[in-house]
A and B are shown apart, each in its own frame.
Chain A
């Protein structure tokens, strides 16, 4: 049976909390670093708790950049979480000179601490604002908080399907470009709201 979700087995990440969240959703998944196994999955999930450069390095060493790009070109869902979302972008201030997967044209920048008077990392629960038609937030209550834990972010852009949170700057909390989905927060740590978000991702039709 084709596993529904291929979880990329990053070494320094939060694979443990992601798989447990998938267990709670009774999702069918496999955890792997093997390109062939992952290419055979309906969707891909890229967890991330590490630096942009470190995560890209891991993906390159395991020949997974191509797997992700191919999945996207075939129109299959890909979900990047936190650093996993950031590496889908083109580049990041965190790791100058390192190219991201480039599936999204956004650039990742550091949360301006001094300028905005906020402490970095952005850590804890923050309210995410989303439109009523955003399929990823179906059944998520208005005013819902999600758990964030990051120092770099993707600036919010108004003209697309995305959700935002405020932390001195307008942070892209999640975005959806066709079936590429990125979440800056950790749905696997965001209790009920995160559970619903993940369930909605798993329900995306392609």
Chain B
């Protein structure tokens, strides 16, 4: 039986060539706008790998244009040491940038939904397969109106399905759902959108943003998520990764132990 995935999320703000791989720092975010450093990337990755993280997300944020080329270089270095499947993203805009990352050995590319950038989704899916591209719907809901981070008003929560259809049509093999307003809040994820998408989706669904407790993970898996990402939860909740996994297993969620 396929296990549910527990996916730590690490952000990287800087990876200039002057910094050695061991020194690169990682961070978590709040509302995708504020960032708090949580340690060094390589040591965090090793700890997660030792604790059997099912997959790890590494997302580049706010990197200087001159450091774009460093994105692949850093991943190339960390993948020598860490073999856990990696999903990498953060302003990847061209097929060339995608290829540089895939050549290092990453499992999939993380792209944020944007109506004008669906071509890249299709091109990546054509070359590396649909399983190689995850498209994220980053949204917020206010007064029952769902708005995408790209600024587009979608309308009612159920209308998120039209965005989901576009993503599926473009060839994505996985969809991510993130309520930006809850990012870093530890107050619990938004699950109405998850339920809508989970009801119809025939591709894997990953959800994140706002995870603050074991119950939050449980709610997401039970609502139909195949994978749940968490950044601040693992950084600040002082939760042992293995304990989280064991607790979820004891509550009936299929989690791997070996």
Contacts and interface: CB of A to CB of B under 8 A. Distances in A.
Interface of A: 12, 14-18, 20-21, 23-24, 49-51, 54, 83, 113-114, 118-127, 141, 143-145, 147-151, 166-167, 186, 188-191, 193-195
Interface in B52-83: 52, 54-55, 76, 79-80, 83
Contact of A189 (B5, B83, B126, B203): B83
B202 A120 contact: yes
A186 B108 CA distance: 13
A12 B202 contact: no
Chain A contact residues: over half helix, strand or loop, or mixed?
mixed
B3 A126 contact: yes
Nearest to A190: B83
B79 A17 contact: yes
7 contacts: A16-B103, A119-B202, A121-B173, A123-B174, A143-B257, A149-B108, A188-B83
Nearest to A47: B105
Residue from A83, A124, A126, A150 with most neighbouring chain B CB atoms (10 Å): A124
Interface of B: 1-5, 49, 52, 54-55, 76, 79-80, 83-85, 99, 102-108, 126-132, 173-174, 201-205, 226-227, 256-258
Given A20-B79, A144-B258, A189 B1 contact: no
Given A50-B127, A50-B129, A119-B226, A124 B54 contact: yes
A147 B258 CA distance: 12
Contact of A113 (B1, B55, B79, B202): B202
Contacts, number: 118
Given A51-B126, A121-B203, A125-B2, 10 more contacts: A24-B83, A50-B127, A120-B203, A121-B174, A124-B3, A124-B55, A127-B256, A141-B258, A191-B84, A194-B83
Contacts of B85: 147, 149, 186, 189
A194 B83 CA distance: 10
Contacts of A15: 103, 105
A113 B126 CA distance: 20
B54 A123 contact: no
A187 to B, nearest CB: 10
Nearest to A147: B85
A66 B105 CA distance: 27
B2 A124 contact: yes
A126 B103 contact: no
The 5 closest A-B pairs by CB, nearest first: A17-B105, A16-B105, A121-B131, A145-B256, A12-B127
A151 B79 contact: no
Contact of B203 (A54, A83, A119): A119
A57 to B, nearest CB: 12
A95 B79 CA distance: 32
Nearest to A168: B2
A123 B103 contact: no
A22 to B, nearest CB: 12
B57 to A, nearest CB: 14
Contacts of A141: 258
A124 B258 CA distance: 13
Given A145-B258, A191-B83, A151 B129 contact: yes
Nearest to B3: A125
Contacts of B4: 124
Contacts of B54: 124-125
A48 B84 CA distance: 18
A123 B102 contact: no
A137 to B, nearest CB: 13
A51 B104 contact: no
A149 B257 CA distance: 19
A52 to B, nearest CB: 10
Nearest to A142: B258
Residue from B80, B105, B108 with most neighbouring chain A CB atoms (10 Å): B105
